Structure 1
Amino acid sequence: MSSAKHVIVIGAGIIGASIAWHLTKAGARVTVVSESGAGGIATPNSFAWINASWGNPEVYFRLRIRAMAEWRRLAKDVPGLPLAWCGGLCFDLPPDRLEAYAAEHSSWGYGIERVGREQAARIEPNLVELPDFALYVAEEGVAEPVTATKALLADAERHGARIVMGTVDKLVLSNGKVTGVAVAGEIITADEAVIAAGAGGPVIAATASIKLPIETPPGLIVHSRPYKKLLNGLVLAERLHMRQTAEGRIIAGSDFGGGDPGEYPEATARELFRTMKAMLRGAEGLEFDFHTVGYRPTPIDGFPIVSRADGVGGLYIAVTHSGITLAPAIGLFAAREILDGERDALLAPYALSRFAQ
Structure 2
Amino acid sequence: MSAAKQVIVVGAGIIGASIAWHLAKAGAKVTVVADSGVGGVATPNSFAWINASWGNPEPYFRLRTRSMAEWTRLAQDLPGIPLAWCGGLCWDLPAAELEAYAAEHSGWGYGIERVDRTRAARIEANVTELPDFALYVAEEGVAEPVATTQALLADAQRLGARVLTGTAIIALVQANGRVAGVDTSSGRIAADEVVIAAGAGSPAIAATAGLKLPIETPPGLIVHSRPYEKLLNGLVIGDRLHMRQTAEGRIIVGSDFGGADPGMDAEATARELFAAMKSMLRGADGLELDFHTVGYRPTPIDGFPIIGRAQGVSGLYVAVMHSGITLAPAVGLFAAREILDGARDPLLEPYGLTRFAQ
- TM band (smaller chain): over 0.9
Q: Distance in 1 between matches of 2:157 and 2:79?
A: 13
1:116·1:132 contact (CA, 8 Å) conserved in 2? yes
Give the superposition deviation at 1:164.
1.2
1:79·1:151 contact (CA, 8 Å) conserved in 2? no
Matched with 2:83 is 83
Matched letter for residue 275 of structure 1: A
Matched with 2:255 is 254
Aligned-partner SS, 2:287 = coil
Instruction: Provide TM-score, normalisation by structure 2.
Output: 0.99
Q: Distance in 2 between matches of 1:164 and 1:245?
A: 28
Deviations 1:27-84 (A, max 9, x none): 1000000111111000000000000000110010000000000000000001300001
Matched with 1:188 is 189
**1:149 to 2:157 alignment:** no
Q: Distance in 2 between matches of 1:130 and 1:206?
A: 48
Q: Distance in 1 between matches of 2:304 and 2:79?
A: 31
Alignment of 1:184-263 (within 5 A): 184=185, 186-263=187-264
Aligned-partner SS, 2:183 = strand
Q: Distance in 1 between matches of 2:290 and 2:187?
A: 40
Q: Distance in 1 between matches of 2:213 and 2:177?
A: 18
Q: Distance in 2 between matches of 1:316 and 1:181?
A: 13
**1:9 to 2:9 alignment:** yes
Aligned-partner SS, 1:318 = strand
Aligned-partner SS, 1:280 = coil
Unpaired segments of 5 or more residues in structure 1?
none
1:82·1:148 contact (CA, 8 Å) conserved in 2? yes
Matched with 1:287 is 288
Matched with 1:118 is 118
Aligned length: 357
Q: Distance in 2 between matches of 1:264 and 1:245?
A: 26
Alignment of 1:89-108 (within 5 A): 89-108=89-108
Q: Distance in 1 between matches of 2:38 and 2:79?
A: 17
Instruction: Provide TM-score, normalisation by structure 1.
Output: 0.99
1:51·1:68 contact (CA, 8 Å) conserved in 2? yes
Aligned-partner SS, 2:170 = strand
Aligned-partner SS, 2:253 = strand
Query: Over aligned residue pairs, what C-alpha RMSD do you find?
Result: 0.6
Matched with 1:350 is 351
Matched letter for residue 86 of structure 1: C
**1:264 to 2:265 alignment:** yes
Q: Distance in 1 between matches of 2:233 and 2:224?
A: 17
Give the superposition deviation at 1:2.
1.3
Q: Distance in 2 between matches of 1:141 and 1:271?
A: 27
Misfit runs of 4+, over 4 Å: none
Deviations 1:293-339 (A, max 9, x none): 00000000000000101111110000000100000000000000000
1:12·1:33 contact (CA, 8 Å) conserved in 2? yes
Give the superposition deviation at 1:185.
5.1
Alignment of 1:50-69 (within 5 A): 50-69=50-69
Matched with 1:31 is 31
Q: Distance in 2 between matches of 1:185 and 1:49?
A: 36
Q: Distance in 2 between matches of 1:78 and 1:311?
A: 37
1:33·1:163 contact (CA, 8 Å) conserved in 2? yes
Q: Distance in 2 between matches of 1:240 and 1:188?
A: 45
Give the superposition deviation at 1:175.
2.0
Q: Distance in 2 between matches of 1:129 and 1:34?
A: 43
Q: Distance in 1 between matches of 2:26 and 2:186?
A: 30
**1:178 to 2:190 alignment:** no
1:176·1:311 contact (CA, 8 Å) conserved in 2? no
Q: Distance in 1 between matches of 2:49 and 2:301?
A: 21
Unpaired segments of 5 or more residues in structure 2?
none
Q: Distance in 2 between matches of 1:11 and 1:37?
A: 9
Bigger drift between 183-192 and 113-122 goes to 183-192
Q: Distance in 1 between matches of 2:18 and 2:221?
A: 25
Between the aligned residues of both structures, percent identity stands at: 77
Deviations 1:276-297 (A, max 9, x none): 0000000000000000000000
